[in-house]
Structure 1
Amino acid sequence: MRALVLNCTLKPSPAESNTAKLAAVVIEALRKQGVETSEVRLADLNLPPGVSTDEGPGDDWPGVHEKLLASEILVVATPTWVGRPSSIAQRMLERMDAMISETDDEERPVAYNRVAGVVVTGNEDGAHHVISELSGGLADIGYTIPGQAWTYWNRGPGPGPSYSETTEGHEWSHKTGQAMAHNLVAVAKALAANPIGRPQ
């Protein structure tokens, strides 16, 4: 079983990403369950606006699309900005829109029988809104969203330290991330054993 983590931080490599650090907890938990896991930082790629799988020369999205189709589990990791997912996370959903009309060999939408979850960081509140926005979009595309398939860390209202600048709240975020990984794998295995069929 394979998992893909799409880090939607606004910071290109090699800048430190708080979002990557919390996502690493989920990655470790997935790997402990035998899941082959890879991570892509979307800020490192050229992803022009659009709603197709390939927007022409120089577009790096087709490579991401291939990784999505090769993975049973998707984890979207994003910071919170002004109470919302990052602009890169929104761009990701827009580019994934094409998957709604793409079908597999059995004429099912290609996202069927794949699961997804969300990781959120930010030194402001709004994590549950971000989780809802992304989970709703991923469900529209065809992903199955297991119960408690998310974890987050935020400082709460007002300014404050970032995830990597404090240990406050880490224990809860890590425990929740481990549960998230468990639930993603459990539902992915259930779908593999009893897949969703072609819509009639």
Structure 2
Amino acid sequence: MRALVLNCTLKASPERSNTEQLAGIVADGLQREKVEVEWLRLVDLAISPGVTSDEGSGDEWPSVHEKLLRSEILVVATPTWLGRPSSVAQRMLERMDAMISETDDGRPVAYNRVAGVVVTGNEDGAHHVISEIGGALGDIGYTIPGQAWTYWNRGPGPGPSYSETAEGHDWSARTGLAMAANLAAVARALEAHPIPKNG
């Protein structure tokens, strides 16, 4: 079983990503569940704006799309900016919109795949970001298990980022490991009992 972690940080490699650090706990949990994990930092790729799976010359989204189709589990990891997902996450969702009309054996290609969300930020808004991304992924066809998310934030007002303090890390880690276990369990359930074709 394979998982793909899409890190939607605004920081290009090799700059340290707080979001990647928290998502790493989820990835570790998935590996404990015998899931193979692959990472992509989307800001490092030339992803064209659009709502198709291939926007032509220079667009690197098609390789991401192929990895999505090879993965039973998707983890979207994003920072919070102004109480919302990053612009990279928004572009990701816009490109994934094409998957709604793509089919595999008569079903949308995202059916029988599961997804979860990781959020970091030194401001409030994590639950809003989780609901925005989780809702969009559900529209696309992913199954979102119960408690398929974890987050860390500093709370109201300015403050340190995830990597600059240990505050709240224990809770975020426990929640991240539970997220990983739930994603793996539901992915295996769908593998054994897939959603049937519609009509």
**Structure 1 length normalisation: TM-score?**
0.99
State the Cα deviation string for residues 80-116 of structure 1 (Å, max 9, x = none): 0000000000000000000000001x11000000000
- Residue 84 in structure 1 maps to residue 84 in structure 2: yes
Q: What CA distance in whole angstroms lies between the structure 1 residues aligned with 2:173 and 2:118?
A: 11
Q: Which consecutive segments of 4 or more residues in structure 1 shift more than 2 A? A: none
Q: What CA distance in whole angstroms lies between the structure 2 residues aligned with 1:108 and 1:65?
A: 17
- The Cα shift of 1:173 comes to 0.1
Cross-structure match for 1:174: 173
Cross-structure match for 1:59: 59
Cross-structure match for 1:195: 194
Tell me the C-alpha RMSD between the 2 structures. 0.3
1:123-162, aligned counterparts within 5 Å? Answer: 123-162=122-161
Q: What CA distance in whole angstroms lies between the structure 2 residues aligned with 1:3 and 1:86?
A: 21
- Secondary structure of 1:131's aligned partner: helix
State the AA in 2 paired with 1:170: H
Gaps of 5+ in 2: none
What is the number of equivalent residue pairs in this alignment? 199
- Secondary structure of 1:151's aligned partner: strand
- The Cα shift of 1:163 comes to 0.1
Gaps of 5+ in 1: none
Q: Percent identity?
A: 75
Cross-structure match for 1:99: 99
Q: What CA distance in whole angstroms lies between the structure 2 residues aligned with 1:98 and 1:178?
A: 31
- Secondary structure of 1:11's aligned partner: coil
- Secondary structure of 1:196's aligned partner: coil
**Structure 2 length normalisation: TM-score?**
1.00
